[in-house]
Structure 1
Amino acid sequence: MQDLPSYIGIVFICTTLLTIWLFLRATNYSIMPLVILFIWAIFQSFVALSGFYTNLDSFPPRFLLLIAPAILLIIVLFNTSKGRAFIDSLSIEKLTLLHTIRVPVEIVLFWLFLQKTIPQLMTFEGRNFDILAGITAPIVYYLVFVRHNMSRKMLLLWNFACLALLLNIVVNALLSAPLPFQQFAFEQPNIAVLYFPFNLLPSVVVPLVLFAHLVAIRRLLRE
């Protein structure tokens, strides 16, 4: 990925750091999440820089290391008493604002498409409408938590809708990657996520966005 303009990687690194910071705000700057997130991000960065993910012939696919640990951690948090206590301590208001990072993510994805490292279907010109979640996040935050003109039920519906948008692009991205189960974009597969810093999208950014939705949905349903 050395041929990419440097600004694309710089913008995405800044977006990843912003995502982590916004999540830490929701934890009231708790030390343990900070340590875990930075260790995980640094580990993933070195793994990608070593070229580990570019070996597509291994079994099981090395790509699993990008997504499986974070998903397993989310499952553990929702199924243990300490995990649920942590979930219930998070600020839904600040988790709602976290979704604004989906705007710069979509911009970076569009730039990557122009550089022929991801397919068009992963952008807002294709099947990816996730930018709508990022655009509406500050509006929803303002209406629900500042003006109180929007009900918590509508906030719940918004979280479900934006979760569907997230799952849509995740599925399309996975099925466009050069993996044994690839179904789309054979002429231009999703290869950007195999390289640093874009491997931080499936390993750090997407899990935090997913977790933010799941936390909000759990809390709002309980209310």
Structure 2
Amino acid sequence: MMEDIPGYVAGTFIAIVIAVLGFIFYSVSVATNGKKNLTPSFVLTLLIGWIFFVSVLTFNGYFTNLSGVPRLPMFVGIAAAFILLLFLWPRTRSILMKMPITTLHYIHIVRVPVEMVLWWLAVSRAIPMDMTFEGSNLDILSGISAPFAAVFMVGSRSKSKLGAIIWNLIAMALLINIVSIAISYLPYFYTPTGGKVGNLGVFYFPYVLLPTFIVPAVLFSHLVSLYQLIFKKDQSQF
């Protein structure tokens, strides 16, 4: 199955991972006032360490072992718990509040190439077509509309706090929709019949980084944006 996937699919996905790392590093750098602060480097090292750890486990067949506790959902839960902790700790909350909100919207552009990767995986029968824009996944609309939201809702040209909140909520709903579809097709819960396929591609490198890194990063961007839009007193700082 996975050996039939063209090399450019993995190359595209790895480029997406690097782009998301770049967006996060830049956002933290701006929030912590630049080069002299070690926080951006620490965050980047932490994220690369997480990616390396997950990748090593993947190469060792950790996630394809389906016995016992569902391992892939467990790691997604760890990432989600870490995001929650960032909002509970006052020091990190202050950094989140200073992140450039336009960058936090531009990051969602990566959802367009992600959808292309999902479609290529579906064509190779590594995931079900229902997880693509040909099925029930409309998440590509978030990526297409992200530049518009960045420029006209939180950018320098014009601002619309209500519009930005609505856009983030809709885009987050589309994210939750595809995540729900992906979960329903995992082999823990779904047994393919009649020539259908399950969601198996995410158990292999580099696509395992979709649920364990890309999706948490996108969710994080939405949550930080909404946090700023709702609680930031000086809206002119966007």
**Pairwise TM-score range, normalised by the shorter structure:** over 0.9
CA distance in 2, matches of 1:42, 1:192: 18
- AA aligned opposite 1:9: A
CA distance in 2, matches of 1:134, 1:154: 16
User: TM-score of the superposition, structure 1-length normalised?
Assistant: 0.93
* Aligned with residue 49 of structure 1, among 56, 59, 77: 59
* Aligned with residue 76 of structure 1, among 85, 89, 93: 85
Q: Which runs of 5+ in 2 are unaligned?
A: 31-39, 233-238
Give the superposition deviation at 1:89: 2.4
CA distance in 1, matches of 2:130, 2:4: 22
Give the superposition deviation at 1:86: 2.4
- The aligned residue for residue 29 of structure 2 is 28
- The aligned residue for residue 151 of structure 1 is 160
Give the superposition deviation at 1:66: 3.1
Give the superposition deviation at 1:4: 1.5
- 1:88-120: CA deviations, max 9, x gaps? 121111111000000000000000000001001
Confirm or deny: 8 A CA contact 2:86 2:93 kept in the other structure: yes
Confirm or deny: 8 A CA contact 2:102 2:151 kept in the other structure: no
Give the superposition deviation at 1:68: 1.6
How many residues are treated as equivalent by the alignment?
219
| 1:195 maps to 2:196 | no
User: TM-score of the superposition, structure 2-length normalised?
Assistant: 0.88
Q: Which runs of 5+ in 1 are unaligned?
A: none
- What SS class does the counterpart of residue 162 from structure 1 fall into? helix
- The aligned residue for residue 120 of structure 2 is 111
| 1:121 maps to 2:143 | no
CA distance in 1, matches of 2:141, 2:73: 28
Runs of 4+ in 1 over 4 A off after TM superposition: none
- What SS class does the counterpart of residue 2 from structure 1 fall into? helix
Give the superposition deviation at 1:189: 0.3
| 1:64 maps to 2:65 | no
Give the superposition deviation at 1:146: 3.2
Give the superposition deviation at 1:185: 5.8
Q: Which has the larger Rg? A: 2
